[in-house]
Amino acid sequence: MMASEVATLAGGCFWCMESEYQDLKGVSDVTSGYAGPQRATPPTYEEVGTGESGYVEAVSVTYDPAIVSYQQLLDIFWSNVDPFDDKGQFCDKGSQYVAAIFYGAPEEEKLARESLKKVEEKFGQKVATQIHPAAAFYPAEDYHQDFYKKNPIRYKFYKFNCGRAQRLEEVWGAP
Residues annotated as part of the active site: 13
Per-residue H/E/C for the chain: CCCCEEEEEEECCHHHHHHHHCCCCCEEEEEEEEEECCCCCCCCHHHHCCCCCCCEEEEEEEECCCCCCHHHHHHHHHCCCCCCCCCEECCEECHHHCEEEEECCHHHHHHHHHHHHHHHHHHCCCCCCEEEECCEEEECCHHHCCHHHHCHHHHHHHHHHCCHHHHHHHHHCCC
Which residues pair with residue 27 across a beta bridge?
A: 63
Amino acid identity for residue 33 in this structure: G
Provide Rg for the chain, Cα atoms.
15
Amino acid identity for residue 14 in this structure: F
